[in-house]
Structure 1
Amino acid sequence: MPAELEEKTDRYESLLAEALETAEIAPPEGTPLHEVAADYEEMAASYLEDGRHFRADGDLVNALASFSYGHGWMDAGARLGVFEVPTDGHLFTV
């Protein structure tokens, strides 16, 4: 089980980092939806940072949870249309 947990943690960290790099805020600056997108992006980035902290402490369970939650914020934003994202591939469920 520990090898599976490490592999999943690696995969979700990469997935979240790539999602943050790929997604672009769609609504124009100064609009309420732009603020929503910025909040989603900030939450996801915070979860990425938290997950990396947990990983450094050897806590893979909480690292995986953080990376998963962070990706959930990005995926929800993509589904709401506040991020421009690729529609093919493995990053988003749009």
Structure 2
Amino acid sequence: MKKTIFTLLAAGALMGCAQSNDLELEGGLYMKGSSPHSYLVIEDSKSHKSYKIQNAKRFNLNQKQKVRLRAKLLKESVAPGFPAIIEVVEVR
């Protein structure tokens, strides 16, 4: 019984680590939202999906730029009006 539980826990840990949240994105940066609640978004040129950038100030990212970056997915998109949230790891 203990061996079965340990085996299931180990398999679950390995499967959890196998999922990658890293993204390679290339596209334009745009501001979305109303004035006090605006945020910077990158629209991927390949998939045409929008991603909200959580740490844009750290990399001095501004709107109307074309960038290529590597990012980590923090939260999936909930609905069409709520884009997925990413954290930029590297700007190329």
Q: What is the TM-score when the length of structure 1 is the normalising length?
A: 0.31
More strand, by proportion: 2
Greater per-residue helix proportion: 1
Greater relative contact order (CA < 8 Å, ≥ 6 in sequence) = 1
Query: Max radius of gyration: which structure?
Result: 2
| TM-score, scaled to structure 2 | 0.32
